[in-house]
Amino acid sequence: MDTLFVVDVAIISCLMVLANLSCRIGEALRIPALYKAFYVSAALVLCASFADAVFEMIPYLAEISSVFRVVAVVVSIPIAVRYWHWLFNEKLHK
């Protein structure tokens, strides 16, 4: 198995778990449904992984798929911080 494929599967799994947990905590805290961006990010990583696996002979595709992965992470981080900022506050006050 390719290492990048394993990393993609791990990232997609983490994004799906974060989406599920953020949905539940968002309902409890009455946060807008921003968690749906995790699904979009997971889809971006899935598309990048699919493109790498199927179209590996196309020049510059590796760079384009890397951009997809970076965009997915850049979109996910602020949303994760929005939902889970209270964990940082709890840890810092102990």
DSSP string, 6-25: HHHHHHHHHHHHHHHHHHHH
Question: Residue 84 is encoded by which pair of tokens?
Answer: 């889970």
Say which amino acid occupies 6. Answer: V
Q: Which residues, at least 6 apart from 83, have a Cβ–Cβ distance to it below 8 Å? A: 18, 22, 25, 26, 31, 34, 35
pLDDT digits (tens, 9 = 90+) for 37-88: 999 999 999 999 998 888 777 878 888 889 999 999 999 999 999 898 888 7
